[in-house]
Amino acid sequence: MPTPKYKRILIKLSGEALMGDDSYGINRDVIDRIVSEIGDVIQLGVEVAVVVGGGNIFRGVAPASAGMDRATADYMGMLATVMNALALQDAMRRAGLIARVQSALTIQQVAEPYIRGKALRYLEEGKVVIFGAGTGNPFFTTDTAAALRASEMAAQVVLKATKVDGVYTADPKTDPEATRYDRLSFDEAISKNLKVMDATALALCRDQKMPLCVFSIFKHGALKRVVMGEDEGTLVEC
């Protein structure tokens, strides 16, 4: 069996990735395909943690939330991430994977509270740990939560799983001349405002010397190729 480059990873999975081509919500086929990709890397002996966003759920109530207090809207978004985490856990159960959901907000009827030592033990036991509710604080994105949890879990890399196969010089949907970066420094990503992650998350990854790879979760085998250290997506590092 080939040896993976990374033994412990944290996947930042956007809520929008779970929609597929739907306008909002969770696409069953898409989530099953994502779980299959994760299962392939687990078979390599890789320990996997996941931070999931909530944009796909919150998008459905966005019109009603217009003008809402920012902190209240952020707490609603955190609840949306917990919903996604539970859906992801259930999909993993159907696929024969063992997963645990830990929430930064206390919702003990549906998810464990976030406890770092417990999460580390789950990873060592080969279980997938899914972190919901972001950091538990308003005004912080799930990107920042991913950088924070990756540091706490001593992950070797943050993998941002999106619909786009890397970071481009411009929006490839509107600019046919846009080219993909193979590698970037964190300082370049911040100074060029490339929208890789928010500036707080990028700064935290940079300070912790935590590499970040942006790739498309919709390309078959892309996650496995990233874990094996092959040329896939855009690698952002110090």
- Annotated binding-site residue? 56: no
SS3 50: strand
- Annotated binding-site residue? 135: yes
- Annotated binding-site residue? 55: yes
- Annotated binding-site residue? 186: no
CA distance 218 to 224: 12
- Annotated binding-site residue? 142: yes
- Annotated binding-site residue? 141: yes
- Annotated binding-site residue? 138: yes
- Annotated binding-site residue? 15: yes
Q: What is the DSSP letter of 114?
A: P
Closest CA to 202 of 212, 216, 192: 212
Task: Provide the CB-side half-sphere exposure for 233 (13 A, CA).
Answer: 29
- Annotated binding-site residue? 174: no
- Annotated binding-site residue? 106: no
- Annotated binding-site residue? 67: no
- Annotated binding-site residue? 14: yes
Q: List residues bridging with 50 in a β-sheet.
A: 11, 130
Q: List residues bridging with 157 in a β-sheet.
A: 9
Residues 129 and 13: beta-carbon distance below 8 Å = no
The DSSP string of 53-102 is: --HHHHGGGTGGGTT--HHHHHHHHHHHHHHHHHHHHHHHHHTT--EEEE
Residues 62 and 80: beta-carbon distance below 8 Å = no
- Annotated binding-site residue? 137: yes
Q: Which amino acid is at 193?
A: N
- Annotated binding-site residue? 13: yes
- Annotated binding-site residue? 225: no
CA distance 9 to 6: 7
Closest CA to 101 of 90, 116, 86: 86
List, as residue ranges, the binding site.
12-15, 54-55, 59, 74, 135-142, 162, 168, 171
List, as residue ranges, the binding site for ATP.
12-15, 55, 59, 162, 168, 171
List, as residue ranges, the binding site for UMP.
54, 74, 135-142
